[in-house]
Amino acid sequence: MALFHTLFGARDDTAAARKARDARVSASDTALRAAALLRSATALIQLSEAEARTVVGFMQLRRCAEGEAIIRQGDSGGSGDDGFMALVIEGEVTVEAVVVSRTSPLTVNVLGPGHLMGEMSLMDGAARSATCTASTEVRCAVLTRSALEALIAEEPATAAKLLSAVALRLSRRLREADGKLQLYAQLVFSMQQEIDRLVPD
């Protein structure tokens, strides 16, 4: 009997945990809405409905008061931030960053339901690149790094699809940033030419 449990007990435990998570998600309108939003074009559209529900089963629902900083620029694992990713379910979040030569934050984006935030730090654990503040009362679903590790261990196929979708999302953002950098470089070059023309040596 001990050998049987050693060989097959872990699978039984995993199946029971999966069943409990599925039941919890199916019984919650908020969790079902989170799963639908997770598959939206602004999040991870590559996930199937079943995969999205599986991922949501590993997420924690969280309420944030208006004005609460959900993510702070510069925070990393050493400051109590374990690199979580959050999906906005209800409300609005303002994304701000302090950039070079500015003393006050610059508003980078405003996120609504179906938007993700914090996925870069979920992947690499590095310091946050922006501050995300609840502009209204916000409900979000949070995937921590420890929950991601549990997802990888228990649902490897779904975890692989999730990581692939996040990587594709980050790749698109990198390409957008690269395009902006090229545009800025062209503008700087044009400005330098105009300065050289107006102020000859």
Other Cβ atoms less than 10 A from the Cβ of 165: the count is: 20
- 15-62 per-position pLDDT tens digit: 888 888 889 999 999 999 999 999 998 899 899 999 999 999 999 999
Q: Does domain 2-189 have CATH number 1.10.1740.10?
A: no
DSSP at 91: S
**Mind giving me the DSSP string for 120-146?**
HHHHH-PPPSSEEEESS-EEEEEE-HH
Question: What pLDDT score does 148 carry?
Answer: 94
- 156-188 per-position pLDDT tens digit: 999 999 999 999 888 887 777 777 778 878 888
Question: What pLDDT score does 194 carry?
Answer: 80
Question: What pLDDT score does 7 carry?
Answer: 42
Domain ranges of the chain: 2-189
SS3 61: strand
Q: How far is CA 84 from CA 8, 16, 143, in A?
A: 32, 26, 5
Contact 89, 40 (CB under 8 A): no
